[in-house]
Amino acid sequence: MKLARDTWLIFQRQTQLLLRNPVWIFVGVFQPVMYLLLFAPLLKPALNAPTQAAAYKIFVPGLLVLLAIFGGLFQGFGLIAELRAGVIERSRVTPVSRLALLLGRSLRDVVSLIAQAVIITLLALAFDLRVFIGNLLLAYLMLALIALMTSAVSYGIALKVKSEDALAPLMNTVAQPVLLLSGILLPLTFAPGWLQGVAKWNPFSWAVEGTRALFNGDLGNDRVWQGLGIIAVLAAAGVFWAARQFARSVR
Amino acid sequence: MIETRGLRKSYRSREGRETKTVDAVRGVNLDVAEGEIFGFLGPNGAGKTTTLRMLATLIEPDGGEATVAGADLRKDPAEVRRRIGYVAQGGSTWDESSAREELVLQARLYGISKAEAHRRAERALEAFQLTEYADRKCKTYSGGQRRRVEIALGIIHEPKIVFLDEPTTGLDPQSRAHMWDEIRRLRTEGMTVFITTHYLDEADALCDRIAIMDHGEIVAEGTPAELKREISGEVVIVGLDAPSTPRAAELLDTEAYVSKLETVDEGGLRLYVDEGATAIPQVLRRLDHAGLDLRSIELHRPSLDDVFLTKTGRSLRES
């Protein structure tokens, strides 16, 4: 009860500040739209897809997962600014739940990610992409869990390193192999055997495959529940770890 | 209100390959009474902020015990949090929020209902003369206004004790005087105020009692007046002609209130007395009776810097 109330307070505040500066919607949507317009047309011939819509069914889920991973991983920067302003310390002297300090922020990130995902899905509809609404909602759940995990981890790391200069290279170093090993841009079915083997250890590749299956209307595909399960466990672990950093962090 | 015994904290810091342990606070014993303004005076790096942050539950002590506002710091930090307010040195407001938003949020983080939070924010804005700027973003505030918002944030839940870390650092003289008035007002309202400062005049003028801290230890504690008296009493400097100096020295040396007498080379005397205010009239009378003309008479009261010098071997102004 207290946790829910505290989380709501933090979420409300963070969302209010976000809405006050709506540039983020433009920035958050601009890049994926560029991919959609300038990169996706290459895919039909490259993937040997029968139609443009088929190519989008492969590409759009990957793009959304990409957005969830990166959108989350870079949230730590905002937290470092708050740390420096003393806002975190001010919260930590109150009896507010430490978990709520994290969850309120991460939920804001999840909501803003879903908003971006909706905009991109709607745009893709204009390019003849068709998805069942139930499958789409499950895919959004996957995206929400990914964003929850990556933003929580990003906050936890931000509290540990306490400086943008350390956070930026760290996040880029983590994000790049994660991106390449998840088959986000091109499906890993094209990859040589060893690369597929390595990618099996990347939880995001399971998430990407699961999301693709959902967009493909293949709800019974094992990758769907496996992807959701793996990401859910990791999200819980990420939240647990990051909340501990909020309880412990100094300044 | 606050009682600490042997409070300790050390940090490990790495220099090259070696890890060194730095004892930031080495066994602090404190007793702060209800309703007083208690000051922690010391140079930067003395361990004042670390002690304060321990008492505010922000960092865990390595050893020792403390009771803060009736709650056990080690066993029940959550209860301590509910009863205290804390205002950090480096600020605590967000550029893009307004004072009112910050106050309402802070009150709600303490579990206060929405309606009550709005009422309290309104009252705090009035009390700290911030109503005019209440709905402007914090980044538009002056240093003094912003500091007042921060103090208001620290006491929005009406704590029994408020900790203020260097409350006037970086403020111009006028805002500083204003801030002192605000702090005295908190005491009038029954709050216990615990401040840290490295300003001698602030400790002297504002605090009811102070503890002087150096290298993680408390080296002296008492009211500013007590501490200064403890040093050397006061010094009365009597200006005289060179010829009449020996005669005056002879007369005054036998007086009971003069604990020590020194002759100044160019003529004149330095008298070490317990209390200058009572000694001066007696000196004047004695010399007048003897028909000696004095050119000047000065009272030199020891400052807190003299106290610091005696206790630590260096001046606070230099460290």
Instruction: Please report which residue ranges of B207-275 form alpha helices under DSSP H.
Output: 224-232, 245-253
- So what's the pLDDT on residue B240? 84
Distance between A41 CA and the closest CA of chain B, angstroms: 41
Asked if A85 and B86 come within 8 Å (Cβ–Cβ), the reply is: no
Spatial contact of B167 and B179, defined as CB atoms under 8 Å apart: yes
Distance between A245 CA and the closest CA of chain B, angstroms: 13
- Assigned domain for B34 exists: yes
Distance between A5 CA and the closest CA of chain B, angstroms: 9
Q: Indicate whether B293 and B184 sit together in one domain.
A: no
Q: What is the distance in angstroms between the CA of the first residue and the CA of the last residue of chain B? A: 31
B window 188-227, beta carbon within 8 A of A: none
Asked if A250 and B58 come within 8 Å (Cβ–Cβ), the reply is: yes
Q: Indicate whether B177 and B271 sit together in one domain.
A: no
Q: Indicate whether B166 and B270 sit together in one domain.
A: no
Asked if B95 and A82 come within 8 Å (Cβ–Cβ), the reply is: no
Asked if A21 and B96 come within 8 Å (Cβ–Cβ), the reply is: yes
Asked if A82 and B92 come within 8 Å (Cβ–Cβ), the reply is: no
In A45-152, at which residue ranges do the beta strands (DSSP E only) sit? none
- Chain A residue nearest residue B57, CA to CA: A93
* pLDDT tens column, B276-318: 888 888 888 888 888 888 888 888 877 787 788 777 777 776 6
Q: How far apart are CA B130 and CA B151, in angstroms?
A: 12
Q: Indicate whether B9 and B72 sit together in one domain.
A: yes
Task: Select from A20, A87, A96 the Cβ nearest to the Cβ of B92.
Answer: A87
Q: Indicate whether B18 and B59 sit together in one domain.
A: yes
Q: If we measure between CA atoms, which residue out of B35, B56, B34 comes closest to residue B196?
A: B56
* pLDDT tens column, B254-273: 888 887 787 877 778 888 88
A window 51-110, beta carbon within 8 A of B: 82, 85-87, 89-96
Q: Does B83 touch chain A (CB under 8 A)?
A: no
Asked if A93 and B59 come within 8 Å (Cβ–Cβ), the reply is: no
- So what's the pLDDT on residue B319? 57
Quote the crossing angle between the two packed helices B114-127 and B99-109, to the nearest 10°: 130
Distance between B57 CA and the closest CA of chain A, angstroms: 7
- Residue A251 in this model has a pLDDT that exceeds 50: no
Q: Domain range spanning residue B252?
A: 234-301
- So what's the pLDDT on residue B125? 94
Q: Indicate whether B158 and B109 sit together in one domain.
A: yes
Residues of A in contact with B108 (CB under 8 A): 9
Q: Indicate whether B110 and B192 sit together in one domain.
A: yes
Residues of A in contact with B92 (CB under 8 A): 85-87, 89-90
ipTM exceeding the 0.90 mark: no
Q: What is the DSSP string of A148-164?
A: HHHHHHHHHHHHHH--H
Asked if B58 and A17 come within 8 Å (Cβ–Cβ), the reply is: no
What mean pLDDT do residues A153-172 have? 91
Q: Does A19 touch chain B (CB under 8 A)?
A: no
- Chain B residue nearest residue A81, CA to CA: B94
In the structure, what pLDDT confidence band is assigned to residue A29 with cuts at 50, 70 and 90? confident
Q: Indicate whether B185 and B243 sit together in one domain.
A: no
Q: Does A22 touch chain B (CB under 8 A)?
A: no
Q: Indicate whether B34 and B81 sit together in one domain.
A: yes
Q: Indicate whether B170 and B271 sit together in one domain.
A: no
- Chain A residue nearest residue B87, CA to CA: A90
Mean pLDDT of chain A: 89
Q: How far apart are CA A135 and CA A228, in angstroms?
A: 13
Which of B228, B243, B259 finishes a domain?
B228
Q: How many CB pairs under 8 A join A and B?
A: 57
Q: What is the CATH number of the domain that holds B157?
A: 3.40.50.300
- Assigned domain for B247 exists: yes
Please provide residue B66's backbone torsions phi and psi, each rounded to the nearest 5 degrees. Answer: -155, 145
Q: How far apart are CA B7 and CA B27, in angstroms?
A: 5
Q: How far apart are CA A192 and CA A208, in angstroms?
A: 18
Task: Select from A13, A20, A94 the Cβ nearest to the Cβ of B81.
Answer: A94
Task: Select from B56, B92, B105 the Cβ nearest to the Cβ of A13.
Answer: B105
In chain B, at which residue ranges do the beta strands (DSSP E only) sit? 2-15, 18-32, 37-41, 63-68, 71-72, 84-87, 161-165, 192-197, 209-214, 217-222, 234-240, 258-263, 269-273, 294-300
In the structure, what pLDDT confidence band is assigned to residue A111 with cuts at 50, 70 and 90? very high
Domain regions of chain A by residue span: 22-248
Q: How many domains does chain B have?
A: 2
- So what's the pLDDT on residue B139? 92
Residues of B in contact with A16 (CB under 8 A): 101
* pLDDT tens column, A47-75: 888 888 888 888 899 999 999 998 899 89
Q: Indicate whether B52 and B186 sit together in one domain.
A: yes
| Cβ atoms within 10 Å, residue B231 | 18
Dmax (CA) of chain B: 80
Q: Does B12 touch chain A (CB under 8 A)?
A: no
- Within 13 Å, how many C-alpha atoms sit on residue A158's CB side? 25
Instruction: Give the strands of the sheet with B2-15, arranged side by side.
Output: B18-32, B2-15, B63-68, B71-72
Which of B228, B254, B270 finishes a domain?
B228
Q: How far apart are CA B300 and CA B280, in angstroms?
A: 11
Q: Indicate whether B143 and B199 sit together in one domain.
A: yes
- Residue A250 in this model has a pLDDT that exceeds 60: no
- Assigned domain for B165 exists: yes
Task: Select from A13, A20, A89 the Cβ nearest to the Cβ of B92.
Answer: A89
Q: If we measure between CA atoms, which residue out of A153, A147, A104, A152 comes closest to residue A4?
A: A104
Residues of B in contact with A17 (CB under 8 A): 94, 96-97
User: Which stretches of chain B drop beneath a pLDDT of 50?
Assistant: none
What is the percent of chain A with per-residue pLDDT over 70, rounded to a whole number? 99
Q: What is the CATH number of the domain that holds B271?
A: 3.30.70.100
In the structure, what pLDDT confidence band is assigned to residue A46 with cuts at 50, 70 and 90? confident
Distance between A89 CA and the closest CA of chain B, angstroms: 8
Q: How far apart are CA A74 and CA A81, in angstroms?
A: 13
* pLDDT tens column, A125-150: 888 888 888 999 999 999 999 999 99
Suggest the residue from A90, A246, A250 to mutate for an interface test with chain B (most B CBs closer than 10 A): A90
